[in-house]
Structure formats: C-alpha cells, structure tokens
Amino acid sequence: MLAQLKNIPVRDGVKIALLFGLSGYFLWNILTENLSNYINTRFGWLSWVAVALFFAMGVVNLLPYLRKKSDAPTPFIQTNSVMPNGWSVMLICAIPLALGTLIPSKPLGVESLTGTLNTNVSVSKTTVITRDPLKRNILDWLRAFGLEADKTRFNGVEAEFSGFIYRNPEFTEGQFMVGRFIVSCCTADADPVGLPVYSLAAEDLAEGQWVTVRGKFTVGEFRDSITPILQAEIVTPIEQPKNSYLYP
C-alpha cells in the first residue's frame, strides 16, 4: 500500500491530507471541547457533519490510488475534476488548519474587547426569569433589570455570579465590572456584557481574572444611569470555565 501511496501526485496528496486534516481538526475540537471557544454549543452537531463529510471526501480522493494497478483510476474519474484546484487554492484552504493548530485555542476574554461591556440586553414581553436568584448568571440579571422599570425593587436582593474582571479608568475606587461574552451563533457575534460590582477586596485582582462574586444589590448611579450595583461581600478568584460564553 505504501508503494501505491508514493504514486500520488504531490498536489493530490496535499489535497487528501487537507481533507483528512480538516476532518481531524473538527473531531479534535469536539473531543477536547474546544468547540465551545468558537461556536454556540447548540450547533455542535454541525461539526460532526463536517467530520464525516471531510473524511468521506478524503476517502474518495484517496481510493483511486489504493486500487490495484488493473483497477487504476479510469479516465472518467480523472476527468471528472471540474475545477483543478491549484496551489494557491490549497494554500488558502490550509489557513484554518494552520491557525487552528499553531495558535493555542482560547475563548474571547477581556483582552478581546474593542469597546466596553454592555449593560443592556434586549428582552421581549414574553421573557420570564424563573431561575433562582442565587443561580442566575449575568445575562439572567441583565434581562431581569430590563424587565423591571422600577430598579429600586432590586435593593437588597442577594446574588452570586461569575465572570471576568473588567476595569475602566472612569470607574471609582473599588468599582469594577464582571463580564461575559454572549454568543448567539459563533464568536463573530460575541457581545460582551457585564454587571457593575463594588468591592475593595478585589483591588488586587488583575483585569481579566475570573471571579465569583456574592453580595447584595443596591441601586445607584453607574455610567450616567440608575442601575443595580452588586455590593460584593465575597470575591472568589476561580479558574476560567471550559465553556466561558453565555448563550441567549
């Protein structure tokens, strides 16, 4: 079989390698759960489709070279290549594989921000927040704030949520935000959101550090609007979770 593989023209060999490589790359992302760094996990099944189709395409491109000489590719098969893919095409199609393997897989974080964290998310009239307050994430709280016209109703409400620390020169001493990225489809639409938190205990923690904060809301002024601010009693540094995005 090795002898037969040696007969594969270089360009076809590269093409076959790319197809198997892309199949393997998608499979690796699924198995290592790195997929959640890139897309909403709801669409993870699509990557299984990619694994299967890339693999099948690799096999059908390899098959003619594995046959015995008498079964060598027929002229029909050799001429059915509608588009003889050139080296430039191969080079471009290798980019995802090269970036995916050479650059360590990492979710978007505070260093990815091109602006600030949003404190408004859209809520429809039918949105209902049923989750227990102590189990709500940042998105749940922002939705709850959006649904309630009278923000003072959140005074004294206890909450606990996790995210990365975001600081801004405009913030006062002890003030910071805890943020997450919301991903609807993939990282292309990642929207950074966050909640304002007050705690002097977090002053030593670096921006981008993941924390769980627990405390009570008090309504106050933040970035020129009246909004609930968490007065954190406990700030616990945590490891960044494997799946760090929130999904609407």
Partner 1 sequence: MENTGSIRKTAITVGILALIAIFLYTLLDVGTTGANPQDRISTFTTRFLGIFIEAAPFLLLGSLFSGLIEVYVSREDLFRVLPKNPILATIAGAFMGLAFPVCECGVVPVTRRLFTKGLPMSVGIAFMLAAPVMNPIVFVSTFIAFGWTEIIVLRFVVTAIVAISIGLIFATVARPHETLLPISFAPVRGGNHGALSPKSTQKSLFSSLYRACRVASDEFFEMGRFLIIGSLLAAWMQTRVSQQDLISIGSGVVLSVLAMQALAFVLSLCSTVDAFLALSFLNTFTTGSLVAFLTFGPMVDIKSAMMFAGVFKKKIVAYLVILPFLMTLLVGILINIWMMR
Binding to partner 1, residues 99-128 (CB under 8 A): 99-100, 103-108, 111-116, 118, 120-124, 126
Is 168 a binder of partner 1 (CB under 8 A)? no
> In the complex, what is the shortest distance from the CB of residue 58 to partner 1, in angstroms, rounded to a whole number?
8
Write out the H or E segment, with its range, that includes residue 192: strand 191-198
Q: Judged by CB under 8 A, which of 10, 68, 70, 79 binds partner 1?
A: 79
Site for partner 1 in 50-69 (CB under 8 A): 50, 53-54, 56-57, 60-61, 63
Is 8 a binder of partner 1 (CB under 8 A)? no
> In the complex, what is the shortest distance from the CB of residue 69 to partner 1, in angstroms, rounded to a whole number?
19
Q: Which is nearer to partner 1, 101 or 236 (CB)?
A: 101
Q: What sign does the dihedral 212-217-219-220 (CA atoms) show? A: negative
- Token look-up 């590719």 returns 73
Q: Cα(217)–Cα(197) distance, rounded to whole angstroms?
A: 9
Q: Judged by CB under 8 A, which of 4, 13, 41, 96 binds partner 1?
A: 96
Is 172 a binder of partner 1 (CB under 8 A)? no
* Amino acid at the residue 97: L
Q: Cα(171)–Cα(177) distance, rounded to whole angstroms?
A: 9
Q: Cα(30)–Cα(36) distance, rounded to whole angstroms?
A: 9
Site for partner 1 in 181-200 (CB under 8 A): 182, 184-191
Q: Judged by CB under 8 A, which of 17, 27, 90, 129 binds partner 1?
A: 90
Q: Which is nearer to partner 1, 136 or 143 (CB)?
A: 143
DSSP 205-246: SPTT-EEEEEEEEEEEEETTEEEEEEEEEEEEE-PPPSS--B
Q: Cα(87)–Cα(89) distance, rounded to whole angstroms?
A: 5
Is 138 a binder of partner 1 (CB under 8 A)? no
- Interface characters, 207-226, with partner 1 (x: CB under 8 A): --------------------
- Contact between 123 and 143 (Cβ < 8 Å): yes
Specify burial of residue 7 (Cβ count, 10 A radius: 0-12, 13-18, 19+): exposed
Contacts of 78 (CB under 8 A, 6+ apart): none
Is 130 a binder of partner 1 (CB under 8 A)? no
Q: Which is nearer to partner 1, 53 or 129 (CB)?
A: 53
